[in-house]
């Protein structure tokens, strides 16, 4: 486990950046427009609900840094469960961790995923670098395709393993851009594809959270048998509104999250 959150987030960004060239470019564009550092609202991690890699084991890395558990979110159709974590020091990014409810999936998917997870050493999960350690298993492209038919999430996990699947720019901390549509316009002007599932702006002021995201980059990944270009990670943007007590809402919105998961879908 890391003892310093800044180092953990730097390492997570480094591993994310390596497979998400658009995030680094957009980060630079925004940084140049703003003339100040870009603040992260949150990051997200994915896993399977099997020992030793279940959500709780990933969360332990943040609890040991003083993070506390926030809300819970259910995604019945996608067979996912998620929780968010936040730190009392509000400048640290929130963390959204989800897990695939493997027992609800087909026997075929279950046996593939169990075979992958069996290859993860329990000691590796507690190690400093686990959250950005990538894949701990061999998987061939045919298996990835099979998983994809049933769960885009399972296929993504099989290909990419442990890494942040997105970082999220806090629009509240920007000066030149005040709304999600303005950000979406900037993204499109630079040729990036905005996730349009459920609309390009997810959530509303009534939800206290508005979000948008790019569609994941497509980069080559080395499967056990061949190298193929597939969706990697994406960049997200979030604008939070104050609750009646004046504090910014710090939770997530399940209906919006449900669509944001689709930013890593293979599409047409
Ligand atoms: C997480 C999707 C949900 C949000 O901000 O609601 C999310 C994922 O794709 O793993 O990031
Ligand atoms: Ni997110």
Kindly give the number of the ligand 1 atom that is closest to the alpha carbon of 254.
6
Best CA proximity match to 80, nearest among 168, 9, 157, 20:
157
pLDDT at res. 267: 75
- pLDDT above 90: residue 204: yes
ipTM tops the 0.85 cut: yes
Reported as a single tens digit per residue, the pLDDT across 139-162 is 999 999 999 999 999 999 999 999
| pTM over the 0.95 mark | yes
CB contact at 8 A, 183 and 211: no
Specify the residue with its C-alpha closest to ligand 1, atom 1.
261
Percent pLDDT > 90 in the chain is 97
**Domain spans, the chain:** 5-264
How are beta strands 166-170 and 234-240 bridged, if at all? parallel
Q: Is the CB of 44 under 6 A from ligand 1?
A: yes
Instruction: State yes or no: pLDDT of 268 exceeds 80.
Output: no
- In a 13 Å sphere around the CA of 99, the CA atoms on its Cβ side amount to 21
Instruction: Check if 260 has its Cβ closer than 6 Å to any atom of ligand 1.
Output: yes
Q: Is the CB of 170 under 6 A from ligand 1?
A: no
Cα 224 vs. chain centroid, distance in angstroms?
24
In CATH, the architecture of 5-264 is Roll (3.10)
């Amino acid at each position: 486990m890391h003892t310093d959150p800044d180092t953990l987030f730097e390492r997570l960004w480094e591993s994310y950046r390596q497979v998400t060239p658009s995030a680094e470019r957009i980060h630079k564009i925004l940084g140049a427009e703003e003339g100040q550092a870009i603040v992260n609202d949150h990051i997200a991690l994915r896993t399977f609900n099997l020992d030793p890699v279940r959500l709780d084991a990933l969360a332990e890395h943040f609890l040991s840094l003083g993070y506390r558990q926030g809300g819970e979110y259910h995604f019945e159709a996608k067979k996912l469960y998620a929780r968010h974590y936040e730190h009392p020091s509000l400048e640290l990014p929130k963390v959204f961790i989800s897990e695939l409810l493997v027992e609800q999936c087909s026997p075929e998917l279950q046996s593939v995923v169990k075979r992958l997870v069996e290859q993860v050493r329990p000691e590796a999960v507690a190690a400093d670098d686990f959250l950005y350690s990538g894949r701990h298993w061999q998987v061939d492209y045919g298996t990835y395709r099979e998983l994809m038919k049933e769960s885009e999430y399972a296929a993504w996990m099989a290909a990419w393993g442990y890494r942040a699947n997105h970082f999220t720019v806090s629009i509240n901390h920007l000066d030149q851009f005040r709304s999600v549509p303005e950000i979406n316009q900037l993204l499109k002007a630079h040729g990036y594809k905005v996730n349009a599932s459920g609309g390009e702006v997810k959530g509303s002021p009534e939800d206290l959270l508005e979000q948008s995201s790019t569609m994941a980059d497509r980069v080559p990944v080395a499967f056990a048998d061949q190298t193929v270009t597939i969706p990697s990670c994406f960049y997200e943007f979030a604008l939070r509104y104050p609750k009646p007590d004046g504090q910014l809402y710090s939770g997530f919105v399940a209906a919006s999250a449900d669509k944001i998961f689709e930013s890593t879908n293979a599409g047409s």
